[in-house]
Structure 1
């Protein structure tokens, strides 16, 4: 596979992933208008378990399938590659059926376990998705191993579009029959989306069966690999990735149980606790997810960049990538965090304008705390990508596990304090990612022996952010006194973005080399260089 085709494939998957993430965030925000914070609490309760079960059944296995299929195809063993796909397909099917039946049969028990009985319909509604997503993942892994990214991208987008359309439609249709059923309808959107995505990728597969059969006929005649050998190879690759992918869902599952129980222990009813949890996980957290579109794209670019330099034993280049990676991550995380902090309540009033004043202020106070997690979460993503590129994926997994333990302890202690309540869960999230980021940072510095220029990496981005915050605050105070708050908020965001971008260029906090880490960054850097706004 040529470098250009690799980058093109990465770009296709990156764009599809970004669009899917944006659609998902817009969906969560829109859903609030139908379900309110209480209904969002019922809806959101099932997702930590759903994500955990998906992580077990799908997280590492598509990667393993893609890698092993690509290796066999590189040797001309097309027959062996297709046989590996068929073996793993049935494994995915079994795993999907098992997790689906588990949730379907245990919906009542699970809703009681997480102290949210009204989430019962949501558990029922999510069960079909647990069977369908693994099937879709098997096909995705096979196509990625064939170095064809369009089937994966197409199924991702179709899956998300159907999820949004069907979820909103059913939530609205069932609203007259109560919030629990409406939340179940919204949750069924995930199952409808999974079905649509599976159908699309299967249609693509069968449309290419003629070419696949032709490949198999032209295959080099290799000895047939034993079933045990295939399974062993898949597990060796998949298990470490699966462990890493499971930590955050495990943390979130424990979070649901702790937050709901602790809130009820300090006097809130189950319905009130569900509403508060909905404000935390369904409203404030949704806005935290949006800036991650950029940080995830950066992390995706860091893995191949570091891997390539590491394979060539070019340690000087690795150090340059690490310096740029940390700096660009801060350039994304700092303004996102402080921007959300300084305008936390105005942004909530803008996005959730139909909610009452008490809800807006409550979610605004949660967002103000949670916003700081963006600084450390974006660093965790980039530093994890660097360690993966160095071939040491388990180190960030262990560090995140330590952060998860910190979060569990702090959530239990802080959420049970009446004066803090649900904000304790937000504070513990910040602490968890802070711990993981610090440990990852130490590991990256140790294994790459990189020295950072304090002024370039920290001082210049901080100066740029301070200027942004000052202008945002002043513009909002001034504009909100002469125009309505929502327009003042939008205008202040635009002012902050322009000031921040200009400050980065003037201080030299960002250079043309940094743009190369981002998809499409080279073209933009050439334009800015041409007009004299960007340094080499």
Structure 2
């Protein structure tokens, strides 16, 4: 099985990802300078709840579309791949519409009750329409990913980012004079505008490809069995979508819970609400955004790896699978090492000169110690999905999330740690998840290189050393 399609698709997504992240990075710098860390912190808290509801609305169906369509294409049954996409679209349109209405109706309770900040109500209302738009668009992206048609996906992502960035800056600049809550609501409206642009761009490619498959299968006799019927497809979708949706819902819920836990634990540590929100903004809106910037590479690689491994597994090409897995792990380790070194040497410039928030520098350096673990967690999850080990991936993700939440809650309330407790929680959760994923892959494919585990241990050692140095400098010098 040739690997050039994986390399080509990965290169396309990386190029678009670099452009998207560069545009997003520039826009974030402008927004931080306009609104400050507090505004970014408010939006980050709302977006965490939004992502949780989105995970329920999409119900894991996009990932199921990618895998099922890729399997059907590997078996030379494109008409069934088209039926998978059609049925999935109907399901997500219904769930996305219900989620949007629910989000709008529950906005006052979400803002005042769950988030404990009435200023977030306008933002919740403004971002609600994106739930329906993203749910529908994600099915199209999943279908195109199964065909490894990354060009259309890349163009839609670029259009989404550019439109969102322009609208964000215009609205935030225009609304900041009315108050921080109006500026953050403008940021949410920019997100909706970007999602609309992405959907408009991706629709023609999606419809053309799906229509071609339907015509191709029009004269074929349906094979016996339930796999080609609507009920059979729904059953197959549920078999993949339910565990994926569960994992994503738990992940999004944990982000929403983190958005509540961290500020409240900081309050318990002695900070007031304004200072706690600013600290959370420096952690989530600046440090996390910078450290996760290189995930454009792991996301692009993983997006191509899932359909490629699924097709190879259907064809029982085990040598190809093992080769692709080893290559992806090696690339991810190199990326993590480079990112850690880069963050250690440029954190002061990034936070002080670009974001005008020098107090975020030590937070960024501390979080950068776990870069290898964060990136390996992403790619190892894609490997398990491509191998069909959905349940194992979900179980490992839940375990890592539980570890992250437990340590975040426990350590963030310690006065001498405060926001660094959240940093430790994130790193430990990703490390546990990555190690469990790699162990599951090893059982399926045979022993993986020891360099993987050595790199994780060295990264953990470096994290401990960096925290020790930071605290020694802070409290004893």
TM value normalised by structure 1:
0.74
Q: How does 1:29-428 map to 2 (within 5 A)?
A: 29-58=29-58, 60-68=60-68, 78=79, 84-112=84-112, 113-144=114-145, 148-204=149-205, 208=208, 212=212, 215=215, 218-222=218-222, 226-300=229-303, 303=306, 323-352=326-355, 355=356, 359-360=357-358, 362-428=359-425
Deviation at 1:299, TM superposition (A): 3.8
Q: 1:220 to 1:67 in 2, by over 3 A?
A: farther
CA distance in 1, matches of 2:388, 2:185: 42
CA displacement 1:65-93 (0-9 Å, x = unmatched): 34555666776674x66555443322211
CA distance in 1, matches of 2:326, 2:93: 43
CA distance in 1, matches of 2:41, 2:278: 6
Conserved? CA contact 1:46–1:123, under 8 Å: yes
Conserved? CA contact 1:326–1:457, under 8 Å: no
Q: Which residue of 2 aligns with 1:511?
A: none
CA displacement 1:428-448 (0-9 Å, x = unmatched): 111211222233333334433
Moved more, 387-396 or 183-192: 387-396
Q: Which residue of 2 aligns with 1:442?
A: 439
Tell whether 2:449 aligns with 1:452: yes
CA displacement 1:202-259 (0-9 Å, x = unmatched): 35567x4996598279542538965433322221232233233334322211111111
CA distance in 2, matches of 1:204, 1:304: 18
CA distance in 2, matches of 1:396, 1:420: 31
Deviation at 1:33, TM superposition (A): 1.3
Moved more, 290-299 or 32-41: 290-299
TM value normalised by structure 2:
0.83
Moved more, 93-102 or 216-225: 216-225
Tell whether 2:428 aligns with 1:431: yes
CA distance in 1, matches of 2:378, 2:137: 26
Moved more, 210-219 or 432-441: 210-219
CA displacement 1:374-395 (0-9 Å, x = unmatched): 1211121233333334332332
SS at match of 1:46: helix
Conserved? CA contact 2:67–2:310, under 8 Å: no
Q: 1:6 to 1:297 in 2, by over 3 A?
A: closer
Deviation at 1:418, TM superposition (A): 2.0
Deviation at 1:346, TM superposition (A): 3.4
Matched pairs, number: 454
Deviation at 1:287, TM superposition (A): 0.8
Gaps of 5+ in 2: 463-477
CA distance in 2, matches of 1:147, 1:323: 21
SS at match of 1:268: coil
Which one has a bigger Cα radius of gyration?
Answer: 1
CA displacement 1:25-57 (0-9 Å, x = unmatched): 333233211110111111111111222222233
